[in-house]
Amino acid sequence: MTIAEKLMQRRSQPSKVWKVGACTALTLSMFLAGLTGVQANIDDAAEYKPVAPTIDQARANILIARQLQFTHFRNLGISDELSGDVFDAYLKYLDGQRVYLTQEDIDSLKSMKSRLGSALKTGQLQPGFDIYNLVQQRIIQRLQFALGVIDNGLDKLDFSANDEIRVDRSESDWEASQVALDELWIKRIKNAVLSQRLNGTDDEAIEDTLRRRYEGQLKRAYQARSEDAFQAYMNAFTGMWDPHTSYFSPRTSENFNINMSLSLEGIGAVLQSDNEYTKVVRLVPGGPASKQGQLQPADRIVSVAQQGEKPVNVIGWRLDEVVDLIRGPRNSKVTLEVIPANASDETVTRDIAISRDEVKLEEQSASKDVIELDRAGESYKVGVITIPTFYADFQAMQAGDPNYKSTTRDVRRLLDDLKEQGVDGVVMDLRNNGGGALHEANDLVGLFIDKGPTVQIRNANNDVQVLNDEDPTVDYDGPLVVLVNRMSASASEIFAGAIQDYGRGLVVGSQTFGKGTVQAVRPLNHGQLKITQSKFYRVSGGSTQHKGVIPDIEIPSRVDTTRIGEDALDHALPWDQIEAVPHTRYFDFSGVIDELRKRHDDRFEISPEFSLLQQEIEFLTEQRGITYVSLNMDERKAHHDQIEQTRLTIANARRELRGDKPFKSLEDLEEWQTEQAADLDNTDEELDFVIREGGHIMADLLELDQHMASILTPAQFAAKAETR
């Protein structure tokens, strides 16, 4: 009998009694007394077939344990303390919101907590599989309970009481018993129903959506595979060393990084598993999702719908299966239902329609623009170079093509064009640049300095390798500003850090991501291990790891730094420093930085764009700070209407700044956003105010020091180099 048939049979038995236990709260008893639906028999979970480890997995486990202990950058042994941490991390992965297991379950598992470490050393996987199988059985019980609530009718749910539910339960106590979980799940269902009702969905459609969601998850639970348990267990284990060390199953290895870009036709996004959800890690520059503009890092995908078809709920799905569903032929449309990164709770979702396309290298290429600033009658011409990623066409390079594309080659050409146009200074925009080819970051620094080191790389044996720019040619010797934000990572941080250390330019924006580690992928007998083996350090000795690059002049960001960034990840390697290497300091900004910051603050004080940015940040911060939401219909509607009105107000304020007609309603805004997805060539041609501010800071530099334009000549570069 198939899962679907079992579900249909279960719903055709209205006379059965719902088994929930003898002791229950009054409100729950009253609700359960009214149930005329199916039996959510927790014994049905016995139909689940427990998964068991294989010999290949045991061997892979032993190899992983050895590599972690002897080749990882972090010197960490497998101890009793680590055993407890693995236990906690594993449960966090399997039941991160603490909605399946009870305190009774946790107590029954405590005897395993101190034994996992020694078992993992020797390939004894059964304890981890026992935990996995228990969680799968509890998931089945909960989903059966939820389906029973829906079968009984949504009209039986009471939305007049003053109930509320905690938004994030990751730090909550485990519920004491299955009965307590029953109460919690009724609240979860009420929360989901309320959210959809407030979005204008009728109860019939809500019932259909929730039923498909829970039945889909239930089907997945029954279809659990040994490899699912092994990958989850190994990643809880490897994650103790650092968040970038992970195990790839044989199938996941085929899609290393799950990067739907380059030759693959999709939406251009990098995804990863996040408990039951698939989470957006970053967007590929130039890809359909990046162009469309609505999908954001840390959004979690709830469902995927092909054009003209019903959405498929993907909560609980394997990552590779979600990726397969999102990929598709060019020019076809896919709609993702996501929980936005800034949502107040997991029931707040939005639909994002994206037209698939192939991400081409030229779409990720560096580009230039020129802005002119009129300041008290004085005109300044500022060149802007945007670098979405650090790229190189390795195939063309290996084939000997003298015209192969790369970041450094393209930027050199753009700089030549800007110099011909007579710009007074250059702004390098590295915002949202997640990195790329390390050698390109090294070579790019070389366009702005004389010979010298660009980055240090230290391995687990404390051996330090220094990458150098060996070319004495300086392609641009004028004033320089580098723009960064929280999504600037890895190679971007190396470039920005080097420019800052050399005093070659000012770094402006928000603290960068802090990804300062290097990984290698090593084959196993079964799958692969991605392991951290080295760490980046600036020429001044400080690591880019964890701390990232701190801007000289800060501009606040909408990004939630508690969720995005290296310092937001569990077990991230810490910041530290090693000895600096000799390098030139081309300009000392200490004498002018206070005045530069003051002028910047004065401009932003009266800037309507900055005022709007602050309003957005305050709104998002307020939403992120919500810990409970009401389950009372009237209270929830009032809160919902307030949020929607704020969204509309902010959107219209932005349109008015651009001279566009404001939207009459939120529906008009959402309809307009959906229309944008159909146009892959839709881009906002207007340079944003942060770039313009970079230009103003450039002009401030020239005004504060009239010698700035001349102190960075090639002759003086050489003179300064002699003093190193």
Range(s) within the chain of domains with CATH label 3.90.226.10: 365-585
Q: Residue 81 corresponds to which amino acid?
A: E
Distance from C-alpha of 180 to C-alpha of 174, rounded to nearest angstrom: 10
Q: What is the pLDDT of residue 26?
A: 36
Distance from C-alpha of 18 to C-alpha of 697, rounded to nearest angstrom: 68
Q: What CATH class has 246-358?
A: mainly beta
Q: Residue 719 corresponds to which amino acid?
A: A
- Looking at residue 135, the DSSP 8-state letter turns out to be H
Q: Which of 641, 643, 642, 634 is nearest to 163 (CA)?
A: 634
For residue 251, the SS3 value is helix
Pick the catalytic residue: 151, 299, 357, 501?
Answer: 501
Specify which residues 280 forms β-bridges with: 271
Query: What are φ and ψ of residue 139, in 5° steps?
Result: -60, -45
Each residue's pLDDT tens digit, 192-215: 999 889 888 899 999 998 998 899
For residue 231, what are its two tokens?
A: 């990958």
Query: What are φ and ψ of residue 592, in 5° steps?
Result: -120, -10
Which conformational region is residue 459 in: left (phi greater than 0), alpha (psi within -120 to 50 degrees), or beta? Answer: beta
Pick the catalytic residue: 113, 190, 515, 535?
Answer: 515
Torsion of CA 143, 148, 151, 154, to 10 degrees: -90
Range(s) within the chain of domains with CATH label 2.30.42.10: 246-358
Q: What is the pLDDT of residue 22?
A: 28
Contact call for residues 668 and 652 (beta carbons, < 8 A)? no
Q: What is the pLDDT of residue 362?
A: 58
Burial class for 254, CB neighbours closer than 10 Å (0-12, 13-18, 19+): exposed
Q: Residue 312 corresponds to which amino acid?
A: V
Q: Give 4's contacts (C-beta < 8 A, 6+ positions apart).
A: 215, 219
b/e per residue, 169-195, with b = 16+ CB within 10 A?
Answer: beeeebbeebbbbbbbbbbbbbbbbbb
Q: Residue 523 corresponds to which amino acid?
A: P
Residue 659 burial (CB count, 10 A):
7
Ranges of residues in the chain with a pLDDT under 50 are 1-43, 256-264, 677-686, 707-715, 717-724
Contact call for residues 614 and 653 (beta carbons, < 8 A)? no
Each residue's pLDDT tens digit, 109-160: 999 999 999 999 999 999 999 999 999 999 999 999 999 999 999 999 999 9
The answer to whether residue 246 is catalytic is no
CA distances from 379 to 336, 382, 449, 607 (A): 46, 10, 27, 20
Pick the catalytic residue: 490, 492, 543, 630?
Answer: 490
Distance from C-alpha of 501 to C-alpha of 330, rounded to nearest angstrom: 44
The answer to whether residue 501 is catalytic is yes
Q: What is the pLDDT of residue 97?
A: 93
Q: Which of 424, 418, 427 is nearest to 379 (CA)?
A: 424
b/e per residue, 73-112, with b = 16+ CB within 10 A?
Answer: bbeeebeeebbebbbebbbbbbbbbbbbbbeebbeebeeb
Choose the CATH number for 365-585 among 3.40.47.10, 3.90.226.10, 1.10.1040.10, 2.40.50.140: 3.90.226.10
Alpha helices in 341-490 (DSSP H): 394-398, 407-420, 438-446
Q: What is the pLDDT of residue 14?
A: 37
Each residue's pLDDT tens digit, 418-444: 999 999 999 999 999 999 889 999 999
For residue 640, the SS3 value is helix
Q: What is the pLDDT of residue 687?
A: 57
CA distances from 697 to 375, 376, 384, 411, 713 (A): 12, 15, 13, 22, 20
Distance from C-alpha of 630 to C-alpha of 347, rounded to nearest angstrom: 13
Distance from C-alpha of 366 to C-alpha of 375, rounded to nearest angstrom: 28
- Looking at residue 257, the DSSP 8-state letter turns out to be G
Distance from C-alpha of 226 to C-alpha of 451, rounded to nearest angstrom: 54
SS3 assignment for 38-93: CCCCHHHHHHCCCCCCCHHHHHHHHHHHHHHHHHCCCCCCCCHHHHHHHHHHHHHH
CA distances from 180 to 22, 184, 720 (A): 12, 6, 72
